[in-house]
Structure 1
């Protein structure tokens, strides 16, 4: 998750709309959970799109750098991607099925600012992901 409210974060020029980027964007738009580059590549291949895995990785990294997708580390350490809302938010992720809920937390923001101020820091950014079991996986 990028800090869109932080100066300089996610503020790059829009990416060029290539055929491959449109295909990757469309694949991300249809998913509610975070997906790995390999998952996206597989979905594109099954849809008949000819996009190389290296192109998927490069495009996802460029989209993350531009603030167009959120990134989190999956349990195995692999990066996972999701298109999210443009406003600053955090994620609640089910460790079993990957279901993801966007959450906003003004109390988290106040706590972050307080900790930074108390320790003499400024221009602090943060990423918070809460991981647990969703209601379906808890059964």
Structure 2
């Protein structure tokens, strides 16, 4: 999705109400101006930086619990919301009403996503084939596009191949 032209509005994953988010990016090496630094937020920050791909709140919870064992999903959602509001993370809405989050500096650049049909992880796809205008009917003008690819990631493909060899 071309988030450079994004209007900054998303629906909250539980309430469906529109929320407005700031779109500026900041480095991930510490708390942003006015942000409380907590162990929980630090764990989320570390997980997002280490994975460097869009992640769902349950994925973030599972990975961050290795750093903060008593972390709960409500705390993850609360911190994700705060991190989006200060411009550290950007929400990624994929088809199917599933909300993922990615580092804001990655969202500034036009890119697409790949979602594994086996493990449901999402990966960034850099680059874009700008031939979509050629697909339009005569007289139509393209203003933006969003592309999500679906298939099986390398890790899940390797697992499948391992099972076939047995």
1:92 aligns with 2:104: no
Alpha-carbon deviations, 1:64-89, whole Å to 9, x = none? 564733524487x5423333724111
Contact preservation (8 Å) 2:23, 2:90: no
Q: How far, CA to CA, are the matches of 2:82 and 2:144 in structure 1?
A: 20
Contact preservation (8 Å) 1:32, 1:99: no
Q: How far, CA to CA, are the matches of 1:32 and 1:13 in structure 2?
A: 15
Q: How far, CA to CA, are the matches of 2:111 and 2:70 in structure 1?
A: 33
Q: How far, CA to CA, are the matches of 1:133 and 1:95 in structure 2?
A: 6
Alpha-carbon deviations, 1:20-42, whole Å to 9, x = none? 43321111112255432122223
RMSD: 3.9
**5+ long unaligned stretches in structure 1:** none
In the alignment, which residue of structure 2 is the partner of 1:3? 3
Q: Residue 65 of structure 2: SS of its match in structure 1?
A: helix
Rg: which structure is higher? 2
1:103 aligns with 2:126: yes
Q: How far 1:55 sits from its partner (Å)?
A: 2.8
Higher relative contact order (CA 8 A, sep 6+): 1
Q: Residue 43 of structure 1: SS of its match in structure 2?
A: helix
Q: Residue 100 of structure 2: SS of its match in structure 1?
A: strand
**5+ long unaligned stretches in structure 2:** 9-21, 27-31, 162-166
Where do residues 25-64 of structure 1 align in structure 2 (5 Å cutoff)? 25-48=45-68, 51-64=71-84
In the alignment, which residue of structure 1 is the partner of 2:152? 133
In the alignment, which residue of structure 2 is the partner of 1:79? 99
Q: How far, CA to CA, are the matches of 1:7 and 1:48 in structure 2?
A: 33
Paired positions, count:
132
TM-score (norm 2): 0.54
